[in-house]
Amino acid sequence: MRLSFAYLFLLLTLISLGPWTGEPAAQDQSPEVHLARIEGGIDGRTAAYVDRVISEAEDSGVGAVVLELDTPGGRLDSTQEIVETESNAGDVAILTYVAPRGAQAASAGTFVVMGSDVAAMAPQTRLGAAHPVDARGGDILGTLGEKATNDAAALMRGLAGAHGRNGEWAESSVRESASVDAREALELGVVEHVEPDLDSVLEAVDGETVEPKGITLRTSGATVVEKPMTFAERTGIQPYVLWTLAALAALFVFSVSLTYRRMRRWRVSTGSEGMIGEVGTVRRPVAPGVGGLVFVHGERWRAFPEDHNRVTIKTGAEVEVVALRNGAVFVRPVANTKGSDGPRKLRE
């Protein structure tokens, strides 16, 4: 039981804290860049993840965070949260990189790219198709659809303008679902860099000053520290839920163990082992070879004398059970064991 509790405690502690990804500082004090990967649909968990990574970077004095994207889109409200986090990180430059080859930053991902301080894409990636849709992927009809489109277009154009990007194309990605590949995005002024890998991106942007934050990037030779999602961010299950489940599981294990021990004791006390040493009363004379009846253990039992050469044990005499075979008890008079006044084993 103690080992079970220890293992359970250790497992839940590791799960609730998430993977440890810290690395010791380099001997030469090279700059650090924190990397968060946004893969799959964007939702509230994604927004919380991005907020945590950027907040940790601010707290530790890291100058840049890279958001590596491969997403088909997601919730507009969660995307708005990410954009706000990017924009309000005054001391940290946010770089977006659409990667690997073949990846996309479609729909909601386009807003994240437009909200970043530096936007880069890997070759053979794509960006755009940001027209708002409903939860099932269909058009939002009527006045509500028009309002959603206008609001999203204004947000996209504003983000592009704040970072010196092509606002006309940005708006068309919302109103017309316009999409571009990496080469077109670079030519149209939608992104600043097209590079084959992250190291190349960091080399290319080194020394740039990003606006409107006014941060000069120092990323050449930087140590990239990956910041994966925690268990809670991946699943949406908060640590306190895990601890509650752990407590319930521990109570269940304890209850099962206690019940098992009680059942074992009950089987011993109610089986043949429990009968040995019990004291009962003769109800019908117990004769050698013939047997009789005794009342013991709260029941009537067919009984035979332990010593086949003994005389018949009379009705009313107290006897002690010495064996149980084939559904019958074998007994001997109490007076012939330790005396009539000797210690007896009584049923509790």
Q: For 64-73, how does the pLDDT look when each residue is reduced to its tens digit (9 = 90+)?
A: 999 999 999 9
Structure tokens at 337: 């064991």
**Architecture (CATH level 2) of domain 19-229:** Alpha-Beta Complex (3.90)
pLDDT band at 27 (very low <50, low <70, confident <90, very high): very low
Find the DSSP H helices in the chain. Answer: 2-17, 44-60, 76-88, 108-114, 142-162, 167-175, 182-187, 198-205, 231-235, 239-270, 272-275
- Given 107, 116, 172, 173, the catalytic residue: 107
Q: Residue 295, exposed/middle/buried by CB under 10 A (0-12, 13-18, 19+)?
A: middle
pLDDT band at 18 (very low <50, low <70, confident <90, very high): low
Q: What is the pLDDT of residues 244-300, one digit of tens each?
A: 888 888 888 888 887 777 766 655 555 566 688 889 999 999 998 889 999 997 889
Structure tokens at 123: 């070759």
Q: What is the pLDDT of residues 98-135, one digit of tens each?
A: 999 999 999 999 999 999 999 999 999 999 999 999 88
Residue 107 falls in the annotated catalytic set:
yes
> Collapsing DSSP states into helix, strand and coil, what is residue 71?
strand
3-state percent breakdown (helix, strand, coil) of the chain, nearest 5: 40, 25, 35
| CATH code, residues 272-336 | 2.40.50.140
> Do residues 35 and 198 touch, judged by C-beta distance below 8 A?
yes
Q: Which residue has the higher pLDDT, 40 or 310?
A: 40
Structure tokens at 218: 């120092």
Structure tokens at 278: 């019990």
pLDDT > 60? residue 14: no
> Do residues 65 and 36 touch, judged by C-beta distance below 8 A?
yes
- Cα separation, 206 vs 208, in Å, equals 6
Closest residue by Cα to residue 83 from 198, 163, 182: 163
Average pLDDT over residues 310-316: 89
Q: For 154-158, 248-252, 323-327, 339-343, which range has the lowest pLDDT when averaged over its residues?
A: 339-343
The per-residue pLDDT for 266 is 56
Please work out, in degrees rounded to the nearest 5, the angle formed at the alpha carbon of residue 163 by the alpha carbons of 161 and 167.
30
pLDDT > 70? residue 5: no
The per-residue pLDDT for 265 is 62
Sign of CA pseudo-dihedral 130, 135, 138, 139: negative
Q: What is the pLDDT of residues 171-209, one digit of tens each?
A: 999 999 999 999 999 999 999 999 999 999 999 999 999
> What letter would DSSP give residue 36?
E
- Given 4, 30, 60, 147, the catalytic residue: 147
Average pLDDT, the chain: 87
On the CB side of 135, how many CA atoms lie within 13 Å of its CA? Answer: 2
CA 110 → CA 43, 80, 88, 174, distances in Å? 14, 12, 18, 10
- Cα separation, 294 vs 281, in Å, equals 5
The tokens 């945590």 sit on which residue?
52
Residue 314 falls in the annotated catalytic set:
no
pLDDT > 90? residue 327: no
The per-residue pLDDT for 6 is 57
DSSP string, 166-211: -HHHHHHHHHS--EEEHHHHHHTTS-SEE-SSHHHHHHHHTT-EET
pLDDT > 60? residue 53: yes
pLDDT > 70? residue 337: no
Bridging pattern class, strands 126-128 and 179-181:
antiparallel
